[in-house]
Structure 1
Amino acid sequence: MMSNEQMLENEIQAKGLNAPRLTPNLIDRKIVGEQYHVFPGTTLTVCVLHLVNGFTVTGESACASPENFNPEIGRKIARDNAREKIWQLEGYVLRERLHAAV
């Protein structure tokens, strides 16, 4: 099954939209490490992604019903939330570069 992100990437490529932009691959290459922590007695999972430049971003997940808590799913959601922050940061950096080139 293809992710929404990959389907969107395929559509962008098919339409020939090739101006400077971010790609899922670029975002993934920024990540050099990851750590997870589940706070004891809770369903709160925190993911810390370590980036190539030494910066870190965090993402969190928690479920309302403790009976639904699954550590693997919690890590996946927390990681996705942390990774989304990289898109924002890298988007800002790219926009700064484009602005400086004008």
Structure 2
Amino acid sequence: MNDAQIETEIQAKGLTAPRITPADLEANIVSEHYFTAGDGVVGVLAVADAQGKQLGDKVQLRAAEIPDELDLLTFCVLILRNGFTVTGESACASPENFDAEMGRKIARANAINKMWPLMGYALKNRLAGPTDEQVGRFLTWPVPADVYPDGTPGQPGRTGTNLMSAPQAKAMLQYVLGG
């Protein structure tokens, strides 16, 4: 069963509590990048050559010496909205079966599979709401001198606000965090 089929079944059952959907995953991807291990080695060699650098004993290859097998390993790098990167890979055992497009699709699917637990964890954090520590930090935040949280002129060294109680601050933070 693929993600689309699972999503259809979830909707058919009316499961409406907050959750991560395939659309959420896709919306979180800012860009995607594909390359083979061979492409990576060629790139490293080109950069080192352009900079006149030696790569050390372990990587004394010339382009003609790059193993063909490296071209059978495809990587997908997804850059997410918050700047985090997720990778997926696809390795082809038989060179005769290698298809670049198929390799990219499989590598992307593997990267997407790594996103589920990451986004699930983030959702669970939002649903858990702000902690007492976070509320306390908010209420004791050093107020800038040009901010008047209660209508009185700013005072150096002032922290927090007397405009709300801790439960009210917690409710506001819950709203801000989207929970």
TM-score (norm 1): 0.90
Give the Cα separation in 2 of the matches to 1:81 and 1:14.
27
Q: Report how far residue 101 of structure 1 moved.
A: 6.6
User: In structure 2, what is the equivalent of residue 87 of structure 1?
Assistant: 116
* Consecutive unaligned residues in structure 2, runs of 5 or more: 39-67, 132-179
Give the Cα separation in 1 of the matches to 2:110 and 2:14.
29
User: In structure 2, what is the equivalent of residue 67 of structure 1?
Assistant: 96
**1:52 maps to 2:81:** yes
TM-score (norm 2): 0.53
User: In structure 2, what is the equivalent of residue 30 of structure 1?
Assistant: 28
* Consecutive unaligned residues in structure 1, runs of 5 or more: none
Q: Report how far residue 98 of structure 1 moved.
A: 2.2
Give the letter aligned to residue 37 of structure 1.
Answer: F
Give the Cα separation in 2 of the matches to 1:101 and 1:6.
32
Give the Cα separation in 1 of the matches to 2:99 and 2:115.
25
Give the Cα separation in 2 of the matches to 1:4 and 1:101.
34
Larger Rg: 2
* Equivalent pairs, count: 100
- Aligned sequence identity (%): 58
- Superposed CA RMSD in Å reads 1.6
Bigger relative contact order, structure 1 or 2 (CA pairs below 8 A, ≥6 apart): 1
Give the Cα separation in 2 of the matches to 1:63 and 1:74.
8
**1:99 maps to 2:97:** no
